């Protein structure tokens, strides 16, 4: 797969604004999708954040594999990164964010006190890729609808400040990096819904998803669609994967009555159904990146 250029004009503007705003904030809350914590952690954001105090908030834990969420938390902590796992919809875990933020910024508070600077609200930027749940989380923290929310990328278009007592939060538009060069990360982002459906070929995304499920959650396709046997082929490329998974999509189409004229199974519609039901949690709680062993330091993306 060639690298995907993904840098619309509003995102280029958001990057410039974010760079300017970082000069005004004391700390950063970076949201990542618990189902794919590395692929959804924007390397461009990490570069911009620099040495400012930071906590990682893993969102959408209600959709993620609980065991993988636990292992990812261990992994972040092993790399000396403060991490909180939350479900913004139910509020689960949200109350842990502000204390974690205060702890991460304690050194700054101490420096200010020694210099005689009077305590003030901790100015904090909330950052993350599109559709990771920033606005929903801020609304939950604020206890009211402070920002717009939605189930598609790109709802937040401008920056806005939200006051929470001793902390001021700056909500920012979701920003993806200029190119998606990692194939596996790009497909994981597409499966999660962070990338709009017209950026990657839907059939290729569904093929990648089927192969991932067959290797990591082999029972899911049978439980949901009564698929007799999913392919166990490793991912090579989109064309090869499609050849391997097409019979599976035919079975899904038959099980759901998705047929074209003449009774031909509609694999395009079954591919769309599979991706949509995965995104909405109807296949269960799934993760699309599995955490490396906590003793393995080969992957250091924090």
- Under the banding of pLDDT at 50, 70 and 90, the label for residue 230 is confident
Q: Considering only the top CATH level, what class is 201-279?
A: mainly alpha
Cα(42)–Cα(175) distance, integer angstroms: 8
Asked whether the predicted pLDDT for residue 89 surpasses 90, the reply is no
Q: Closest by alpha carbon to 216, among 158, 283, 171, 264?
A: 283
> Which pLDDT belongs to residue 191?
94
Share of the chain above pLDDT 90, in %: 44
pLDDT band for position 4 (50/70/90)? low
Least confident among 155-159, 168-172, 189-193, 256-260: 155-159
Which is higher by pLDDT, 120 or 71? 71
Q: Give the pLDDT score at 232.
A: 84
pLDDT in tens, 168-206: 888 776 666 656 678 888 899 999 988 876 678 899 999
In this prediction, residue 78 carries a pLDDT of 93
How do the domains of the chain map onto residue ranges?
4-179, 201-279
3-state secondary structure of 220: helix
Mean per-residue pLDDT, 26-54: 87
Q: How many helices (H) and strands (E) does the chain have?
A: 11, 8
The CATH class for the domain spanning 4-179 reads alpha beta
Nearest to residue 61, comparing CAs of 281, 302, 293, 300?
A: 281
Picking from 275, 42, 46, the residue whose alpha carbon sits closest to that of residue 179 is 42
Burial of 161 (0-12, 13-18, 19+ CB in 10 A): exposed
**Structure-token match 């596996």, residue found:** 184
Q: Is the pLDDT of residue 294 over 60?
A: no
What pLDDT is attached to residue 20?
Answer: 82
């Amino acid at each position: 797969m060639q690298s995907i250029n993904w840098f619309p004009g509003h995102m280029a503007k958001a990057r410039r604004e974010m760079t300017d705003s970082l000069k005004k904030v004391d700390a950063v809350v970076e949201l990542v999708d618990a189902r794919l914590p590395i692929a959804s952690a924007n390397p461009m954001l990490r570069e911009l954040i620099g040495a400012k105090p930071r906590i990682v908030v893993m969102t959408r834990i209600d959709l993620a594999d609980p065991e993988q969420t636990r292992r990812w938390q261990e992994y972040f902590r092993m790399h000396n990164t403060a991490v909180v796992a939350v479900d913004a919809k139910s509020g689960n875990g949200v109350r842990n964010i502000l204390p974690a933020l205060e702890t991460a910024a304690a050194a700054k508070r101490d420096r200010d006190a020694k210099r005689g600077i009077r305590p003030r609200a901790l100015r904090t930027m909330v950052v993350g890729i599109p559709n990771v749940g920033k606005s929903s989380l801020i609304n939950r923290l604020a206890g009211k609808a402070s920002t717009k929310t939605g189930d598609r990328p790109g709802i937040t278009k401008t920056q806005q400040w939200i006051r929470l007592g001793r902390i001021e939060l700056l909500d920012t538009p979701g920003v993806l990096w200029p190119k998606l060069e990692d194939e596996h990360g790009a497909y994981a982002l597409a499966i999660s819904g962070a990338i709009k459906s017209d950026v990657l070929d839907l059939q290729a995304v569904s093929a990648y998803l089927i192969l991932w499920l067959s290797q990591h959650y082999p029972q899911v396709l049978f439980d949901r669609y009564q698929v007799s046997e999913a392919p166990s082929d490793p991912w090579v490329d989109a064309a090869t994967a499609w050849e391997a998974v097409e019979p599976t999509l035919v079975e899904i189409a038959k099980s759901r009555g998705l047929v074209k004229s003449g009774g031909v199974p509609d694999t395009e519609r079954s591919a769309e159904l599979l991706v949509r039901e995965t995104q909405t949690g109807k296949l269960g709680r799934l993760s699309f990146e599995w955490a490396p062993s906590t003793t393995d330091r080969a992957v250091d993306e924090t």
